[in-house]
């Protein structure tokens, strides 16, 4: 097939406005078509939403353990002020390739797709899988549906490489995260007659006090020195409620988030807060609890075969940990070794004029080519 290079593929991918939380048929269709023409066996795995899909593709013998390259196809919306050009049109500015998703993480997808036809032409002793997900930016909502299908699609991979931007240095660990939205319903009324109403903001104060106390308790450990800070944490990030100072507020809502060190289930950090809702229901309030996203921590041993492989492929010792989260923890929780390694810098993600350097793409292409060479017979 006519070879497109990584830069040309990135230009195409950036042109699909695959914003998190929206239909993604266009980008999935283009990638599937490209991969089929390269000789891959491609599975489009529709999610329960009905209008969006994960994509899984394999080259080589699927019944043997190989390697899985993982990335998300969605990007965050490009609403930041300060974009100097259309975020969904790749712009070249000297060594920079500017556009939404160039670093996070269509650059990695483009490198994988650029190399794949070359690797597919080799006789492979072990397979290479591509696992491209949707709605990662909404708390990794898409990829669990893909991971659940992997046992039907291939032998358990020996390792999964999650290509989130890490300046092409492998990363062995990140914290897990869980987020929830809590809404309380009371009874409105005039503020002069509190005896007739039920103040939802006052009731939420009870939840807030529990959240603050839990956050303080967590600073006392357990500890894992790989992380910064070295303990699990928790915070209330938003609060809404009330209409006027002389009206008893009927509703109050908060969003709370926990970040857990390896070995701690992030959802468990919110359990105490959820438990308090029983007490409020007994006082006559209505309560609503919704988990809005969660993923487990990632923790791969420094001497794990996958960590050693990445050191060989990149020439750099893997970093112990980072503070941002990825889909890697979900792969590990499903019984696959996982590590983060991708081109670009996470510091450029979710910002105006997000970019990747052409050299960074080339280095990533070389890394994937080196991996492909190891899979050949
Ligand atoms: Zn990302």
Q: Give the pLDDT confidence of 185-210 residue by residue, as tens digits.
A: 999 999 999 999 999 999 999 999 99
- Tell whether the model's pLDDT for residue 293 goes beyond 90: no
Give the tens place of pLDDT for each residue, 268-281.
Answer: 999 999 999 999 99
Distance 74 CA to ligand 1 centre (A): 8
Distance 63 CA to ligand 1 centre (A): 29
Contact (Cβ atoms closer than 8 angstroms) between residue 44 and residue 32: yes
* pLDDT value of residue 2: 53
* pLDDT value of residue 323: 75
Give the tens place of pLDDT for each residue, 140-158.
Answer: 999 999 999 999 999 999 9
Contact (Cβ atoms closer than 8 angstroms) between residue 20 and residue 76: yes
- Tell whether the model's pLDDT for residue 81 goes beyond 60: yes
Distance 163 CA to ligand 1 centre (A): 8
Distance 16 CA to ligand 1 centre (A): 16
Distance 35 CA to ligand 1 centre (A): 22
| Residues 338-364, mean pLDDT to the nearest whole number | 96
- Tell whether the model's pLDDT for residue 1 goes beyond 60: no
Taking Cα atoms as reference points, which of 101, 132, 103 lies closest to residue 34?
A: 132
- When computed from its CA atoms, the radius of gyration of the chain, rounded to whole angstroms, is 23
β-strands 41-46, 53-59 pairing: antiparallel
- Tell whether the model's pLDDT for residue 19 goes beyond 60: yes
Average pLDDT score, the chain: 96
Distance 104 CA to ligand 1 centre (A): 5
Distance 347 CA to ligand 1 centre (A): 11
- What residues does the ion ligand 1 have nearby, CB within 5 Å? 104-105, 164
- Tell whether the model's pLDDT for residue 373 goes beyond 90: yes
- Tell whether the model's pLDDT for residue 106 goes beyond 90: yes
Distance 308 CA to ligand 1 centre (A): 24
**List of domains in the chain:** 6-173+297-375 (3.40.630.10), 182-295 (3.30.70.360)
301: exposed, middle or buried (Cβ count in 10 Å: 0-12, 13-18, 19+): exposed
Contact (Cβ atoms closer than 8 angstroms) between residue 160 and residue 89: no
| Residues 77-105, mean pLDDT to the nearest whole number | 96
* pLDDT value of residue 300: 94
Distance 195 CA to ligand 1 centre (A): 50
Question: How many Cα atoms sit within 13 Å of 43 on the Cβ side?
Answer: 20
| Residues 231-259, mean pLDDT to the nearest whole number | 97
Distance 142 CA to ligand 1 centre (A): 13
Check residue 344 and give left, alpha or beta (phi > 0: left; psi -120 to 50: alpha): left
Distance 175 CA to ligand 1 centre (A): 15
N-terminal to C-terminal alpha carbon distance within the chain: 23
- Tell whether the model's pLDDT for residue 54 goes beyond 80: yes
Distance 343 CA to ligand 1 centre (A): 11
> Sheet of 67-72: strands edge to edge?
41-46, 53-59, 128-133, 67-72, 159-162, 338-340
Distance 76 CA to ligand 1 centre (A): 9
Distance 119 CA to ligand 1 centre (A): 25
Distance 131 CA to ligand 1 centre (A): 14
C-alpha 165/C-alpha 107 separation (Å) is: 9
| Residues 365-375, mean pLDDT to the nearest whole number | 96
């Amino acid at each position: 097939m006519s070879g497109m290079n990584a830069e040309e593929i990135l230009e195409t991918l950036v042109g699909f406005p695959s914003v998190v939380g929206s239909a993604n048929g266009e980008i999935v269709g283009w990638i599937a078509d490209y991969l089929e023409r390269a000789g891959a066996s491609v599975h489009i795995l529709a999610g329960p939403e009905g209008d969006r899909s994960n994509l899984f593709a394999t080259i080589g013998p699927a019944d043997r353990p190989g390697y899985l390259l993982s990335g998300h196809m969605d990007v965050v919306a490009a609403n930041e002020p300060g974009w100097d050009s259309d975020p969904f049109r790749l712009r070249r500015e000297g060594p920079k390739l500017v556009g939404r998703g160039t670093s996070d993480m269509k650059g990695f997808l483009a490198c994988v797709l650029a190399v794949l036809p070359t690797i597919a032409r080799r006789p492979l002793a072990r397979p290479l899988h591509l696992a491209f997900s949707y709605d990662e930016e909404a708390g990794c909502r898409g990829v669990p549906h893909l991971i659940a299908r992997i046992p039907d699609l291939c032998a358990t991979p020996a390792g999964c490489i999650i290509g989130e931007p890490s300046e092409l240095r492998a990363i062995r660990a990140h914290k897990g995260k869980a987020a929830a939205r809590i809404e309380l319903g009371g009874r409105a009324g005039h503020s002069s007659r509190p005896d007739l109403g039920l103040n939802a903001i006052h009731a939420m104060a009870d939840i807030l006090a529990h959240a603050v106390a839990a956050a303080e308790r967590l600073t006392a450990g357990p500890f894992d020195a790989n992380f910064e800070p070295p303990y699990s944490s928790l915070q209330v990030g938003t609060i809404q409620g009330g209409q006027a100072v002389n009206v008893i507020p009927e509703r109050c809502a908060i969003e709370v988030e926990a970040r857990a060190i390896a070995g701690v289930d992030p959802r468990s950090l919110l359990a105490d807060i959820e438990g308090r809702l029983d007490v409020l229901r007994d006082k006559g309030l209505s309560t609503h609890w919704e988990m809005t996203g969660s993923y487990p921590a990632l923790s791969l041993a420094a001497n794990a075969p996958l960590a050693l492989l990445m050191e060989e492929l990149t020439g750099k010792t893997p970093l112990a940990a980072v503070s941002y989260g990825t889909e890697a923890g979900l792969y590990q929780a499903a019984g696959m070794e996982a590590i983060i390694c991708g081109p670009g810098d996470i510091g450029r993600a979710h910002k105006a004029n997000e970019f990747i350097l052409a050299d960074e793409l080339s280095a990533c292409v070389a890394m994937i080519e080196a991996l492909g060479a190891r899979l050949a017979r």
